Structure 1
């Protein structure tokens, strides 16, 4: 996946979202994601099943910029997870029990520090897009709206350096009745409205 156009668009949005931009910070992070299951059914036989994503590590980058009001920051969040999807009782295609998938998120929103500073406890909220990209090109790629809400703590090390801990829930909306990852003719459809991932992460915040 070529994510450069997405990141360029997100950075442009971040830079023009507020008339006043003070310090900017970049926080590469690593984490771990656990996922809920996705309800599906066979369009031919109405047989119900579930897709389960393997819980795996994640990594990404958060870009923040101070807003005019103390304690508030804009945030551009980019996350990536390599995992696999497996059906509880069935196959995605003949001979295919699981699919290796890379999940991307590109979201924009903000942080709020109740103390009015740029460190300490915070709440976060971002909205954007999830890309579900099977590593096998025979299966379809999906783009869906996603919302992340969470919170965490930034430990003050110096004016230019913080340690950031995050806990966030990432909800990806699905079109009930829409096709699942398909190879050729699609017999599986989503019967749930979305799925939830919980991500715990840690990273260093570099302020400029």
Structure 2
């Protein structure tokens, strides 16, 4: 058999072979995030106030990898939201009632399809960390433990492509009595144990 015939036979076998099952999914997503307020008080506990995060768009990337049991996947979630924190009644610092900041989430967990497939309805859960990063370097950055629970639906488009719709709640724990964003003599302290954000998102899952 000459080289041309061998090449043609090899190509025919490759084309006739079934496609390799996808094992990893990458999902760039865009969404909208809504949040609750955070109770705070002065260090002397003489005044109470609350911080409210502005509802705004979010985006990020989700990485999934198939686990041996059908319908189960590991998941890595990274989300980013540009927003602002506003005090209802007081000031973070002189002439500063609100602070522009970026909220990051990095979480590790899993996803489960009751159908045993990689499309259809699913539930998800993850643990990780939230980073609260003020745009102004005069204010402190905070890292706090976070938990997310959610669910959604993946529409099958092709063997390598899905449309994913998500709704997840993200709880960020706060140290009651810990300082708020401001530093250098700031008198504000968290009096809440945490706050919840709800994110609705959509993205295309690229599987390979």
Aligned partners of 1:132 and 1:141 also within 8 Å: yes
4+ long deviations beyond 6 Å: none
- How many residues end up aligned between the 2 structures? 188
Name the residue aligned to 2:14.
none
**Matches of 2:45 and 2:39, distance apart in 1:** 15
Q: Shift of the alpha carbon at 1:97? A: 1.1
Aligned partners of 1:139 and 1:182 also within 8 Å: yes
When normalised by structure 1's length, the TM-score is: 0.89
Name the residue aligned to 2:176.
176
**Matches of 1:206 and 1:22, distance apart in 2:** 9
**Matches of 2:147 and 2:78, distance apart in 1:** 13
**Matches of 2:45 and 2:148, distance apart in 1:** 35
Name the residue aligned to 2:11.
none
Matches within 5 A, 1:155-170: 155-170=155-170
Q: Deviations over 1:134-173 (max 9, x none)?
A: 0000000000000000000000000100000000000000
Name the residue aligned to 1:18.
none
Q: Deviations over 1:163-196 (max 9, x none)?
A: 0000000000000000001132120000000000
Name the residue aligned to 2:81.
81
Aligned partners of 2:172 and 2:196 also within 8 Å: yes
Give yes or no for the alignment of 1:196 onto 2:196: yes
When normalised by structure 2's length, the TM-score is: 0.89
Matches within 5 A, 1:36-51: 36-44=36-44, 46-51=46-51
Alignment gaps of 5+ in structure 1: 1-20
**Matches of 1:131 and 1:90, distance apart in 2:** 24
Bigger CA radius of gyration: 2
**Matches of 2:159 and 2:22, distance apart in 1:** 14
RMSD, aligned CA: 1.1
Aligned partners of 2:110 and 2:125 also within 8 Å: yes
Name the residue aligned to 2:17.
none
